Each structure stands twice: as C-alpha cells, then as structure tokens.
Amino acid sequence: MIETKHGDYNIHEIALTPEALQPLVELHHQVLPSRAYASEEKKRGLLGELQAALAGRDPLIVAAFTPAGEIVAYKLGYRTGNRRECFYSWLGGVHPFHRRKGLGRALARVQHDWAREQGCLYVETHTWGDNPGMMILNLQEGFVASGSIAAVDRPGTRIIMRKMLQAP
Ligand SMILES: CC(C)(COP(=O)(O)OP(=O)(O)OC[C@H]1O[C@@H](n2cnc3c(N)ncnc32)[C@H](O)[C@@H]1OP(=O)(O)O)[C@@H](O)C(=O)NCCC(=O)NCCS
C-alpha cells in the first residue's frame, strides 16, 4: 500500500470501491478541461465507467490530500499490453488552487516507481495537443512523443507519449 508525503500533502492509494472513488469523481469534474464537453448523464456515469474500466486490470489509483483530508489531486491507470508490459496512465489532475506546487510531478513519480516495481517495461499516456502543462511535465519526466490519435468527439489530437521504465 503506497503512503507518502509531498510537503504537507499526504499521498496514498485509493481502493476501487464506490465510497472511495466518489470524492475523486467529484474532483475529476472540477479539474479536467475535457469534462466541459460531457453531458450531465455522462458525468453521473463516470463512477461506473471507472469501476468497469479498471476492475481486473491491476489498476493503481493514487491521490493527494490536504492535512484536513480533502482530496486535491489524483492519478490513475492500469497495466496493459500483450505481456502486460505497459502501464497506461489514463487520467489525472490537480485542483486549480493546488497547482504548481509539484503535486502533478509527485504523483507521476509515485505511479512510475510502482509500475517499474511491477515489472512494466514502459508507461504510456495520451495527452491532448492543447494541454501544454501536461505535455511539459511529461517531457520533463522523461516521456517522448511516439504517435498521435485524431479525436472523434472533440477538436484536436491526442499525442501518444511513452517513457521507458527499464532497459528492454
Ligand atoms: C497538468 C497538471 C496535472 C499539472 O499539475 P501540477 O501539480 O500543477 O504540476 P507540477 O506543479 O508538478 O508542475 C511541474 C512542472 O510542470 C510544468 N507545468 C505544469 N503546469 C504547467 C502549465 N500550466 N504551463 C506550463 N508548464 C507547466 C512546469 O515546468 C512545472 O514546474 P514549475 O512549477 O517549477 O515551473 C494540472 O495543471 C492539471 O490538473 N491540469 C488539468 C487536468 C489535466 O490536464 N490532466 C491531464 C490529462 S488527464
């Protein structure tokens, strides 16, 4: 079980249960620009969507909390690939009031260390081309752009980014 600190923030794992995920779902709607495109129905369905997508996939859900216990940042993903050699970093975000304090970087490092320990060869993520903050942070943390996917449901392109976790 992951448990660490970043400054005053406590970082720990979240279980894949509705009770544990609900605060993360609420935070998710506040932080993710793409949620502005989501209908109310889609927003309500996110909890079930997360559970269905992550169940049985060796997921890692980590979050940062204030000393008062309020969730302010999260990052989640799961193992994938033919030989489960990849950790796919799916979603993450930091509450606007708590940005540029190193939380995004701290959660990324926790995630990458965990994936490396699980034996994953690389971590992959898909970053929107109009998201400079995430793109810059990923590049600083050792990702390289390795492809792109045209979006079907909104304008723009997602850049496939990969970071090797160990020598192939
Ligand atoms: C992208 C995001 C996760 C970064 O989180 P954060 O906690 O603010 O990031 P950090 O404080 O760890 O930043 C580390 C470095 O990344 C770079 N960076 C982060 N945000 C940046 C921005 N908006 N513009 C330019 N560079 C940025 C900086 O180099 C920063 O270091 P510095 O603050 O010392 O200059 C956050 O802005 C966010 O939640 N955005 C909305 C949600 C999102 O885009 N999620 C990803 C897609 S699922």
Tens of pLDDT, residue by residue over 27-83, are: 998 887 555 667 778 777 888 999 999 999 999 999 999 999 999 999 999 999 999
| Cβ atoms of residues 142 and 125 within 8 Å | no
Rounded Cα distance, 57 and 148, in Å: 24
Question: Closest Cα to residue 128, out of 149, 99, 113, 104?
Answer: 149
84: phi then psi, degrees, rounded to nearest 5: 50, 35
Q: Is residue 7 predicted with pLDDT exceeding 90?
A: yes
Does any ligand 1 atom lie closer than 6 A to the CB of residue 131?
Answer: yes
Within 13 Å, how many C-alpha atoms sit on residue 33's CB side? 10
Rounded Cα distance, 81 and 16, in Å: 21
Does any ligand 1 atom lie closer than 6 A to the CB of residue 133?
Answer: yes
Rounded Cα distance, 161 and 143, in Å: 6
Q: Give the closest residue (by CA) to ligand 1 atom 39.
A: 93
Does any ligand 1 atom lie closer than 6 A to the CB of residue 102?
Answer: yes
Atom of ligand 1 nearest to the CA of 108: 12
Atom of ligand 1 nearest to the CA of 134: 1
Crossing angle of helices 103-117 and 132-140, rounded to 10°: 50
| Cβ atoms of residues 80 and 57 within 8 Å | yes
Ligand 1 centroid–CA 101 distance in Å is 9
Rounded Cα distance, 95 and 64, in Å: 10
Instruction: Report pLDDT digits (tens) over 97-153.
Output: 999 999 999 999 999 999 999 999 999 999 999 899 999 999 999 999 999 999 887
Q: Give the closest residue (by CA) to ligand 1 atom 28.
A: 137
- Domain ranges, ordered by start, for the chain: 3-164
Q: One-letter amino acid identity for 27?
A: L
Is domain 3-164 classified as CATH 3.40.630.30? yes
Ligand 1 centroid–CA 103 distance in Å is 8
Q: How far apart are the first and last CA of the chain?
A: 27
Instruction: Provide the whole-model pTM.
Output: 0.95
